[in-house]
Chains A and B, each alone.
Chain A
């Protein structure tokens, strides 16, 4: 049985999460959401909170390589697991991940608020389907809302990142 402690405010837990390859460890309330853990305890604010109801996808990160909505996961569910955030995607500080580069090239963003989640969802999509059709890209990103772009340039960016020709 996992060790836990009770208190007047409910249980607290010591958790260790590998975030972007780095070990992190904090004593958190059991009700701590993963997105708050990442932003406030670990200090990585690239993961945005949008709707806070698991609809918009702005908080999308990877848990053990799969896209998840970090506003709908408890931090303790990620205990002992690998989390990748938008900060962990680029290979180095002066080089973008191919998906980030494609979003830049195809202008797949306007205000940028949805972009971290959109990029993380898109990377997970290509991990599962390396050469998606345009329809598969649109369906694969159904969990991520963008209120600026109308999605067309985002879809182009994902197709470009998959190495497929992009129609203008």
Chain B
């Protein structure tokens, strides 16, 4: 399978990439690692006429402390996340979720910014960033703005990013003493999750994110509210599928997905230390 023809621009900086986006509008697509975009282009599900390769903008590849937060450059690979000592110490959920994305080859290329901007509801890391209450930094022609993860995902493969904006940084809170867990239910290694649940409880955070339970990565607000009211793990998990629109596909019916969401949420909460 071969992608449709396109023009290729290799960006030398975020500013350069944004200038290309401004020039070409929605005809252009940013490519980071390319491991979501290239498969979609091969299937002709994505047919950009201009590909702006940001894979060499290496100044956006970092994981560093920033006050009470960890700041992660958008071009940081999953491989870097899973091997980061800083994340393992201060925000272990993110590294652990990165470790179960795809397979090692994919993790060598795939990036955190790429998977968030791609906004696939079946991806693992968006749910983790949602659970952590992360902040996304978008850069456009007129500067940068911060977007809460909870308002970033707007539709199936659609995000809050404007056509001429690029994700440059992701910030997650330090939470070294929080309980955390990620439950990924799939039939085979390297598959997308049929349903996934990311939980983080403690250090001032109560977050639960759901994978593949709707057209966007879902923040499980009913569960979070129940926990705030002192619910047990079992009681909080019983509302995990509320307000979701679970999709149907070859792997699972909506009913089955709702069941999985409740079971996996309970497991994730118990593993995170909720009684």
1/0 per residue A88-132: CB within 8 Å of B?
000000000000000000000000000000000100110000000
Residues of A within 8 A of B (CB): 1-2, 4, 6, 9-11, 13, 29-31, 33, 36, 52-55, 57, 60, 63, 66-69, 72-74, 76-77, 79, 121, 124-125, 139-140, 142-144
**In contact, A142 and B34 (Cβ under 8 angstroms):** no
Complex interface: chain B residues within 8 A of A67 (CB): 104-105, 108
Shortest distance between the CB of A100 and any CB in chain B (Å)? 19
The 5 closest A-B pairs by CB, nearest first: A10-B5, A143-B103, A2-B10, A30-B8, A11-B7
Asked if B16 is at the interface of the complex by the 8 Å CB criterion, the answer is yes
Binds A, one of B35-43, B145-153, B230-238, B258-266: B35-43
For chain B, residues 14 to 59, give those with C-beta under 8 angstroms from any C-beta of chain A.
16, 34-35, 38-39, 41-42, 49, 51, 53, 55
**Would you call B189 an interface residue if the criterion is a C-beta within 8 Å of the partner chain's C-beta atoms?**
yes
* Residues on the B chain within 8 Å of A139, using CB: 189
Q: Are A11 and B102 in contact (CB under 8 A)?
A: no
Asked if B105 contacts A69 (CB within 8 A), the reply is yes
Cα distance A31–B5 when bound, in Å?
6
Say whether, besides A69-B105, A142-B189, A77 and B42 are in contact (CB < 8 Å). no
For the complex, give the distance between the alpha carbons of A99 and B7 in Å. 40
Q: Which of B4, B49, B51 has most A Cβ within 10 Å?
A: B51
Nearest CB on A from B220, distance (A): 28
Q: Given A54-B35, A66-B108, A77-B55, A142–B10 Cβ distance below 8 Å?
A: no
**Assembly CA distance A76 to B1 (angstroms):** 17
**Contact: B105 with A143, CB < 8 Å?**
yes
* B-side interface residues, number (CB < 8 Å): 33
Residues of B within 8 A of A54 (CB): 35, 38-39, 105-106
- Is B256 engaged at the interface, CB distance under 8 Å to the other chain? no
Flag if B34 contacts A74 (CB, 8 Å).
yes
Say if the beta carbon of B6 comes within 8 Å of chain A.
Answer: yes
Q: Report the bound CA distance from A76 to B5 in whole Å.
A: 13
How far does the Cβ of A125 sit from chain B's closest Cβ, in whole Å?
A: 7
- Looking at the complex, which one of B39, B51, B103, B104 makes contact with A30 (CB distance below 8 Å)? B51
Query: Which among A2, A4, A121 has the greatest number of chain B C-beta atoms within 10 A?
Result: A2
Tell me how far the C-beta of A131 lies from the nearest C-beta in chain B, rounded to whole angstroms: 16
Bound: A113/B147 CA distance, A: 47
Given A1-B12, A33-B2, A66-B79: A77 touches B53 (CB 8 Å cut-off): yes
Q: Is the CB of B34 within 8 A of A31?
A: no
Which of chain B's residues have a CB closer than 8 A to the CB of A57? 103, 105
Q: Is the CB of B6 within 8 A of A143?
A: no
Q: Is B190 an interface residue (CB 8 A)?
A: yes
